[in-house]
Structure 1
Amino acid sequence: MEELNFKPCSCTSASKPEEKGPVLPVSGKALWAVLGLGLIIWYAVYSQLPGVSDYLTFNLAGLTPGSHLGEAVRFFLYDTPKVLMLLVLAVFGIGIIRSFVTVEWTRKVLAGRKEYVGNVFAALLGVVTPFCSCSAVPLFIGFVTGGVPLGVTFSFLISAPMVNEVALIMLYGLMGWKVAALYFVTGIAIAIIAGWTIGRLHMEKHVEDWVRLATAQNSGADSRMSIEERVVFGLEAVRDIIGKVWLYVVLGIAAGAVIHGYVPEDMMASIMGKDAWWAVPASVVLGIPMYTNAAGVIPIVDALLGKGAALGTVLAFMMSVIALSFPEMVILRRVLKPRLIAVFAGVVGLGILIVGYLFNMVI
């Protein structure tokens, strides 16, 4: 039950303090030349995607424009390379940024702030340091044993899977900067407020006892890396992350293509529209048992919006899939007692409901 999220991490061993960074595969000049050539090729291919997808669908395959099958196939052939290429660029850039952010540095920053300020810092750090299931436990342990307040830690744990670089870049690429910004602001707000609320409940005794005796693993980043080593770190992040999520991306886009081509707009609007009061809570409940991540759910969200589903309802569905999935609750059970997990799910779920209803009212 591995949560294939967006953090290159090593589950087998911790990085040793004396390790400076990744080994350069080529000389520095050659590395920059290859990187520059790669960016030129990336742009050339990306700019041709609309025309190529139309040609493959309607000319080569002979499908009829406007038909159910034709629109579904075109959606799939265009969005699959588009999303994967955006992911490569985003993960590479964020990977370089994350080479500066070590677990020890993060722990010191969070532990040295007032609690409400720590909630804000923790939520923002979660955006660039998303966790997978194998790194969630050592990160949580590292924060708790490092003196980070429990509520601050939860702000990080909420924002890390829900508002990460992959989610934001995919939202931007598929739905524009306004939807991406909206999701960022609401997701960060939920992480900050929910973490602060949990902190006010003083539930430290509901953390498993063994957590306080454990030590954290290192994320692989090192403040002593050269710029070339950080570039290699970013390339390794691309290899590791894209290798884990590409199948989820393809499956998510395939589901979105079916919705885009075959689901009637009237039916989707009646199920996930603004008029049905029960649509938001039903979407949250529907999202909890689903097992996917941002890479898999965002193409589905794009297709649902295109078919007339209300933005608030769709955002609530997306947030519940990413932040409240049942597999994630099972993972957190390794370090949290049931009562604290229930409080976590309840507080986050309430925040998601508020976001859903709010945006259905104002948009």
Structure 2
Amino acid sequence: MFDWVQHLADWFVYDVLKLGQGEHLSEALNFFIYDTIKILILLFVVIFFMGIVNSYFPIDKVKNYLSRNKLYGSEYLMASLFGTVTPFCSCSSVPLFIGFVSGGIPLGVTFAFLITSPLVNEVAVGLFIGLFGVKMTLIYVFSGVLLGTISGMVLQKLKLESYLTPWVKDILANAQKEQDAFIADKSSLRARLPIIWAEVLKILKGIVPYVIVGIAIGGLMHGYIPKGFFEKYMAKDNLFAVPIATILAVPMYSNASGILPVIQVLVSKGIPIGTAIAFMMGVVGLSLPEAMLLKKVMTLKLIGIFFGVVTLCIIISGYIFNIIL
């Protein structure tokens, strides 16, 4: 889908700037250009689409449907399963997170999607089967969906809505009022587009600076952190290897397909599969660039709670993997 963006980044870095392939600067710059264009496109498409959806579908009905007690937590499972069919990295998932929140979806349900989306997707599953076999792939997919579901439920129980930023609260406060006006207005979609477009520009203006900073951090990490840097901390005889691997993974930034070949190398060097997968989950599910993007919609306390709950779940998953495999 975004191959043309990668070709554009390659052309600019290697042909226009004449930087050599494999160099730290070229790798970092290539990553920055590719992810910036890709995420900005995703931001525009998702926010515009959610603007159309919000103009026609009552927020309260969506909220009530996903909050009914008779669902017994299935709304979190549904969000996690939806995350498995969206091939996004953690930063690419943030635009959808913003769209879900502004659409009135409960925060815990939205978190369930945000956690699962970068962890499990069709590309990662295909690579996982090739590298580790069907059994390991099924266990990984199940654990990824379970991780998103349980984390979302825990985060919802904590009632963290008050820790959203004033910017998001303002969007939520005005969403119902604007939507009531849309519903009362029987005009066509074409007539509504100027209002939707104005809202898209408003949201983009507020969020783009955070996107640029976050991707810049990710690019520097992608280009300058050596791939073998963390291997010595994940030794098989280290009881604390799983939490160390998970915590050390957070500064890194990659999608599942990018980190899987690294995981294969780690496993081949004797690192336990649970430790390696915990590292992978930390890389693709949590990252400093993601935190920078979330800073626009969450307070630091909420980001800390979110990262803390997910980190704890990943560590538990890593130990379970090491025990059963």
Conserved in 2, the CA contact under 8 Å of 1:153 and 1:195? yes
Measured in 1, the distance between the counterparts of 2:115 and 2:95 equals 16
Instruction: Tell me which residue corresponds to 1:60.
Output: none
SS of residue in 2 equivalent to 1:328: helix
Conserved in 2, the CA contact under 8 Å of 1:287 and 1:317? yes
Instruction: Tell me which residue corresponds to 1:316.
Output: 278
Asked if 1:361 is matched to 2:323, the reply is yes
Aligned residue runs from structure 1 range 258-297, under 5 A? 272-297=234-259
- Larger gyration radius, structure 1 or structure 2: 1
SS of residue in 1 equivalent to 2:104: coil
Conserved in 1, the CA contact under 8 Å of 2:236 and 2:270? no
Conserved in 2, the CA contact under 8 Å of 1:2 and 1:133? no
Instruction: Tell me which residue corresponds to 1:157.
Output: 114
Stretches (4+) displaced over 6 A: 5-8, 107-110
Conserved in 2, the CA contact under 8 Å of 1:332 and 1:341? yes
Equivalent residue for 1:187, pick from 120, 123, 144: 144
Conserved in 1, the CA contact under 8 Å of 2:278 and 2:317? yes
Distance 1:198 1:10, change over 3 A: closer
Higher helix share: 2
CA RMSD, 1 decimal: 3.8
Give the CA deviation at 1:275. Answer: 2.9
Letter in 1 for 2:301: R
Aligned residue runs from structure 1 range 1-363, under 5 A? 4=35, 9-12=41-44, 112-113=65-66, 114=68, 116-131=73-88, 136-214=93-171, 272-363=234-325
Compute the TM-score of the two structures, normalised by the length of structure 1. 0.56
Measured in 1, the distance between the counterparts of 2:39 and 2:87 equals 6
Letter in 2 for 1:145: S
Q: Which ranges of structure 1 fall in alignment gaps of 5 or more residues?
A: 20-101, 217-247, 260-267
Q: Which ranges of structure 2 fall in alignment gaps of 5 or more residues?
A: 1-31, 176-218
Conserved in 2, the CA contact under 8 Å of 1:122 and 1:155? yes
SS of residue in 2 equivalent to 1:112: helix
Which segment drifts farther, 270-279 or 199-208? 270-279
Give the CA deviation at 1:129. Answer: 2.1
Letter in 1 for 2:249: G
Distance 1:211 1:133, change over 3 A: farther
Give the CA deviation at 1:281. Answer: 1.2
Distance 1:111 1:309, change over 3 A: farther
Distance 1:184 1:132, change over 3 A: closer
Measured in 2, the distance between the counterparts of 1:193 and 1:285 equals 20
Identity of matched residues, %: 41
Which segment drifts farther, 320-329 or 1-10? 1-10
Give the CA deviation at 1:209. Answer: 2.2
Measured in 2, the distance between the counterparts of 1:286 and 1:133 equals 16
Compute the TM-score of the two structures, normalised by the length of structure 2. 0.62
Distance 1:158 1:272, change over 3 A: same
SS of residue in 2 equivalent to 1:147: coil
Measured in 2, the distance between the counterparts of 1:337 and 1:324 equals 16
Conserved in 2, the CA contact under 8 Å of 1:124 and 1:188? yes
Measured in 2, the distance between the counterparts of 1:134 and 1:184 equals 20
Give the CA deviation at 1:320. Answer: 0.4
Conserved in 1, the CA contact under 8 Å of 2:274 and 2:319? yes
Measured in 2, the distance between the counterparts of 1:133 and 1:317 equals 15
Measured in 1, the distance between the counterparts of 2:171 and 2:82 equals 23
